[in-house]
Structure formats: structure tokens, C-alpha cells
Structure 1
Amino acid sequence: MNTKGSFTGIFLCFLTLFTLTDCSTCQTNILEGDSLTFQLTDKQLKDNDRFTIKKDDKILVPKRNRKQDGPGIVKDKFLELQPVKLSDSGTYNVEVFDVNGIRIKSHSESVCVYAKIPKPRVNITCQDEKVDLRCDVEGGKDLSFSWYKNGKDLKKNVLNFSTNIEENKSKYTCTAQNPVNKNTSDPVEEACFKPATLFGFDLWIMVGILAGGGGLVLVLIIVLVTVACRACKRREKQQRDEEEFRLNYLNTSPPPGQQKSKQTARGQPAPPEPYDDVSAQEIPCQAEPRPRNQQRARPPPPPIDDEEEQPPPLPQPRKKAQVRKREGPM
């Protein structure tokens, strides 16, 4: 029962073959363009021995001896087919017969033909705080990959992987290989950066918020400065108007008969009266003191008003000559 199941499994394996290998791995791996060699016998092939080769149950080399022409070149006990193509992958059955037609050797061999691997390229994609690395190769089959960071093997046999962004930038290389060929990419430096943060938030968002707030504050400052400047100008204008009004008030002389200068009994001008009803801004400024060595100018005599009462004349002493004349005739 077990033997029947084994034969059934083997039959299914051969049934599903197309152009590659059997259910297990290939017995012979060869690079496209190289020559494929089959061993015909364990010792040198005789001239009368005949052989045939089938590929996937189709005759590839018709039955012939070593001297007859046909596909391949016979060298001692080997048959060499060259050059091979990708389509030459498959299962080959080799049979050798003696001169009497008795089969002296028979074996099958699975062959896989691989193309030369082009130079891979490392593709880096930045995502937030992660960096995705991918080894891109054009074409190829049954490829395996190896990753290196600064020349050190990362033990990652995958097509792509992700890692955290590092502050110290590293150079990555990947190697793509098949059983008969491999190729390594040029080193590529990780060019990803951690997103800058401010107060735990994205830097550019915070910059936008601060820029908007700063612009609003700047507008408010401009408005306040403008209002303050206009207020200062109004105050200066008001002060100039008050000074001009005060100067006009002091320089304007009153018409005659409305104001009389007050004098003392001896004809001296009376002291100025205090300004009771006048505001502090309308009080005339006092003259600055003059140096002592400079003589003071005499004030002009006060105007004499006919209507004002004159002071009585002062008594004068008698003259001696008049007294003597009066005393003489007596």
C-alpha cells in the first residue's frame, strides 16, 4: 500500500513538470550560455555503443554511436551540449546500449538553467520614523537576497525590510543571487531624517501656529504704535496751541480807560497782584534772573493820569536869605 502511494506521488510530480525540475531541487544548475555535459558511461564509450537522450519524454538525441553525427559532442565518456538556453531546463533521461542492444546504463537528471543576474539597486523609502529598503532586480527567478550595512551582514535574506531611522547615516548594499550567479548593488546611503518636533508636536505645524500668532501680535503692536503716535501728535499740537494763546494774551495791550496801573502813594508802581482767577497755564513766565554785574535799566516813569488824585506836595525848608531881609529894616 505504501509502495503504491509512493509511485502515485512520483507520477504526480512528473506530471506537473513543465520546463523546470522534479519535485526536489535541481541536480544540475547551469548558467545560460554555458555548456551542459551528460555522463554516458562509467568508462570510455566504445565505438559500437549507442546512446540516446530524452528531455521530458521527448527525444533530444536520437540513438547513435560516438562516430555518428548528431546533437552534442562526445568526449570520452561524456556528451556535451552547448550553448544552453533558459528553455533547456527540464528532466533528461540518458540511456546507453551495447552493440547487441542491451541497455548497459540508464539514469535521469534534472537540469535548471539560470540567467545572469543584472546589477540590483537599493530603493529607500522614508516613512515617518521608519525607513523601508527594497532590493530591486530586473527579471530573474529563484533569487535570494542578502543585506549588508556598512559592509556587515545583517542576516536578512528578504527582498525588503524596514528599520528605524538612525542619526548616524549608514550605507546599505544588497546582493541578489541564484544557484549559479550573484550580483551586488552599489552602496546607498540612508537619506531619511527623523521629523523634527517642538513641544512634542510636528515642527512645521508648530511653526505655522507660532507664525500665525506672531503675525497677529505684530498687527496688534502696529495698531498700538499708530494710536500712540497719533495721541502724541495731538498732545503736541494742543501744547503748541496753548503756548500761542498764552503769548497772544501777554502781548496784547488793553485799550485805554479799561485798565489802570496802580501806584503807591509816592508814585511807585504797585506790586503785581496774584493771579487768582487765571489758570496755571495762563500765568506769564517770570523773567530769568540777570547777572549782577549788569546794571538794571530804569523803568519808564509811570503814566500820569489826570483823573487820578495827585499826592500833596512835600514841605520845603525856609530860605535864610528871606529871613534876613525881613529882619533888616526893623
Structure 2
Amino acid sequence: MSCKRLLFALLIATSLLLEVQQACEYLQSGTSTTFNIGYPGPIKELIWRRKSEMIFRMKGGKQVEGQVLEIIGGSLKLSNLTASHDGTYEGEAFGNDGKSHKSEKRTICVMDKVTKPKVLVNCTGPTLTCSGVTLSPTLTFTWQQNRKEVPGTARTLGPKLKQPSRYSCTAKNQVSKETSAEIEVDCRGNNPGQSLWTLPGFEFWTTVLILAGGGTLLLVLFVVIVVCICRRQRHELNLQREEEELRLANLTHCQQPHPPGHHSRQAPPPKGHPGQHGNMHSEDQPPALPKPRGHNRPRPRPPHPQGPPPGPGASAPTAQAQEGATPRKGPRPQRS
């Protein structure tokens, strides 16, 4: 490698190192700042760069390239600063004669405002912790005892604490600082600085969330157990009810009289033969035949036309008497 290339690489490294070591101007987020161009004459062409990259170019009074930015007389104004605006800014203006004029470089670092901290007490040590702030490498802490600053810049103070005493902490960065409320620390007995509802090592709202979550979980578990017990009891009652209904149905079926025709009707044994067939069922006996009417009941004799019949000693009637008798109407029924 030639000496020229080595020299060129050395110059580039030196420029990068100088840019890195450029003093950072810390600005609070949400604020605004203006980068002045520092060119008094009329501007024919204007260029703004951030981290050596062009972000805006204007020529002939009109923007031709880059982002939409707020330009006032050639100066660059940034409003509502955030961490995305961090970097080194440099402007370059060209006059009507074509000569270039560069502005001074400025490096900005945008940081958030420090939130108000609070002191947490742990009587195990005892130790004090400055909590409730967003930690960052540029954040520092200081402690006050009875409104007098004590040595130490750590976030935690202890374990040698003077008791009883009132303590507070201050959190600070390059753009702001906040001091906590003062609390009394006395771990020899009850500690008024630590709430009874605060778990050791946790903040108040963290403790509330933990307790609320545990209570909700226990409530859900209790409801599930109660529902399971109720369903089991209901299932057992349904089974018991079905068994009782089935037992009642069987009992009713056994006691119900048989409908007509279910069994063949038993005919009584014939009169006058009580012991002829013994215990023979009525289904094995032949049906009884109807008795003839002529053999059982004698036919009455017709009355005598002229009076009662003669006795055993009387004589038979004469033929004339028989001729004078009234003839019988209709044919005489035949004897069967």
C-alpha cells in the first residue's frame, strides 16, 4: 500500500474521531432548537446535512431534494425534539458569486425529562432504594438526610442508616432533575416509611397488581370448584330420580289387572260331575252342548173341550159328542 493511501486513511480516521468526540449539546425532548446558517448575503443554493448526509436542498428559492423541514432565512429549525433527532448538523450556503459558506457544526443529544422518584424502604438491611425513574447511563442519584446531602451517588443507600431520620433522593440527568418526597425511616419498630400494603422489594402499584391478580385467580378457581360440585350433585339427583321412577313403573306394572282376553276364560266344571276330571284346566275341557228342549220339559196336554177329563171310572165320550166339539185352529204342532 502506498504512502498516499495510508495518509488518506489516517485523515479519514482522524475526522471520524473528531466527530465522535464532538461535544454533545443535551436538549430535553419536546423542546425546539434552531441551527443558524450565519451567511448574511442572498442565498442562491442551500444545503443542510445531518451525520454527513444531505437532508435538505434548496435552489432558486425552491426545495428540490430532501425532507420537508422548516427553513427560516436559511437557518434550520427543529421542533418537538425526540431521540430520532440526535446527530451532528451542518449547513452550506452558496451566494450569487458561487462561493460556499459552511455553518458551524452542532451535535445535539435529546433526552427525556426525569420523572419524580420515590423512596422504598427495606428493613432487612436496612436499605433505601430510589425507585420510579427510567434508568439510563447518564442518570445520577443523590441522597438527603434531614434535608442535608449525604455522601454517595448510588441508587441504593445503606445498610448503615441513622434511625430515626427523614430521607429523600434526587434523580438527575443532563436536562432535568427531580426530588422525591421525604419519608421517616425507623426500622427498630413499625416502619412508617413503608406501606403495610407494599411487599418487600416491590412498589405500591406493583404490589396492588400482584394481589389483584392472585385474588382474581383464587376467585376463578373457587367458581370452577363450586360449578363442578353443583353439576355433580345435580347428576346424582337425576340418577336417583330415574331409579325411583323405574322402580315405581315396575311396581305399577305388576299390580295392574290383566286386560280381557289376556288369558283364556276358565269355564266352571259341569254340575253333577264334581270329581270327574279332578283338577283339569278349563282349556282342556270341551265346551258344553245345548240341551234339547223337548226331552227335558214335557209338553202340556190340551184342555178338554167340554170340561175336565173323566176320571178313571168314567166312560169314553161318544162320537157325536166328539163331532159337536169345536175344532182346533191351526195345524197341530208336531212332537219332536
What range is the shorter-chain TM-score in? 0.3 to 0.5
- Structure 2 length normalisation: TM-score? 0.46
- Structure 1 length normalisation: TM-score? 0.47
